[in-house]
Amino acid sequence: MFQNLIDVFTTFENLTDPRVARTRDHELFDIMVVSICATIAGSDNWADIERFGNERLDWLRTFLPLKNGVPSHDTFGCVFSRLDPAKLSACVTQWMDDVGREIGKHIAIDGKTLRGSFDNATKQNPLHLVSAWACEARLTLGQVATDAKSNEITAIPLLLELLDLKGATVTIDAMGCQKEIASKIVECEADYVLALKDNHPKLSEAVEKAFEAALEDGAKPSGLRRHRTEATSRGREECRQYFAMPAPRTLPGFASWANLMTIVMVVRTTIINGQERGEVCYFLSSLPAKVKNLAKLIRQHWSIENQLHWVLDVTFTEDASRIRKKNAPQTSAILRRLAVSILSQDTSTKDNIRGKRYRASMSTDVLERILLGFTEK
């Protein structure tokens, strides 16, 4: 069992230690393993990680030397502030490959601001992370940091370069609806579904008019496909109507959008407490006009909000985190996203993610099952 636990973390032995050798009282591998275990088991800051380590020292020493005991919270904070985020992210990506997790064919990309990572003393803006989320597998595949949401346009191509996208479909909200990003996705032998809003006013207006013409009384549009879904939950009634049709070649800038094949319209009607609200959204896609498939991708895109960002805020209290020194906001964010992926994949414990963290904090048996279960191919 204990050798198996060591094998779980082998990938992190290759992580470059940023410290001078003579100043090291604790091995980087030990620091990483304790941090990962503690984060899974409910620790949300460096002091909590130190507390976890001291409470579970006997268990940790069954597979880690920890010659000088558990590092202090200052040591954890210092090491993570100096770690190279790119190298740590690459290490996590390699781990995902090593454990052989199937990531599926749908990758959602979206950004999230770590609101508590600002630092007025150094005039440091809150960190904004753009993440790639494998929707079917519920795994974070990579992330790129910026200092503002508006920089997502430049961050997304950098993130795409880190990923193996061949055969996948990438979905992005309106911020990423850019010709260069569409071209980059196609270059990676992948397809795209991009939300279209007023950042492309002429194109958005033309797509709207194309659907209006197609849906006029008596019109016989070529290739128009429809799909309707209805759902009721907690007093909320929602109807979604999806319309997909081949993209007209007369659209403004049509030739500049790589492999553009289809335009999509989604009409959403929601009734809450007797009040009806409506919303219309448009999308561009390189996929054929198979409306049910496109509807699934558009709906599933929001799992990055529901299963990642919401969990990070509510269960990991990420927005409240005041970790802000040097690289620490980004490296600690990588740690949290790794923990979300591991906990989301766990089938050994029947509970939600908050419950699994709580159980793992109380029982090393539960924690072991979660870790070993993640690495079983």
Length of the chain in residues, anyone? Answer: 377
DSSP 220: -
pLDDT score, position 121: 60
pLDDT band, very low/low/confident/very high, at 265 (cuts 50, 70, 90): very high
Contact of 256 with 181, CB cutoff 8 Å: no
pLDDT higher than 60, residue 2: no
pLDDT score, position 290: 96
Residues 15 and 130 in one domain: no
Residues 223 and 143 in one domain: yes
Out of 280, 309, 338, a domain closes at: 309
State how many domains the chain has: 2
Out of 281, 309, 337, a domain closes at: 309
- Asked if residue 237 belongs to a domain, the reply is yes
pLDDT score, position 223: 87
Residues 296 and 357 in one domain: no
pLDDT score, position 375: 75
pLDDT in tens, 225-235: 999 999 887 77
The domain of 15 spans 2-83+346-375
Percent of the chain with pLDDT over 70: 92
Out of 258, 287, 309, a domain closes at: 309
Residues 197 and 302 in one domain: yes
Residues 191 and 249 in one domain: yes
Residues 221 and 114 in one domain: yes
Residues 214 and 76 in one domain: no
- Asked if residue 340 belongs to a domain, the reply is no
pLDDT in tens, 140-199: 888 888 766 567 888 999 999 988 899 999 999 999 999 999 999 999 999 999 999 988
pTM for the model: 0.87
- Asked if residue 180 belongs to a domain, the reply is yes
pLDDT in tens, 323-335: 778 888 889 999 9
- Of 46, 161, 33, 37, nearest to 109 by C-alpha is 161
CA distance 346 to 126: 32
Q: Mean pLDDT across the chain, nearest whole number?
A: 89
pLDDT higher than 70, residue 363: yes
Percent of the chain with pLDDT over 90: 64
Exposure class string for 6-36: b at 16+ Cβ within 10 A, else e: eebbebbeebeeeeeeeeeebbbbbbbbbbb
Residues 147 and 274 in one domain: yes
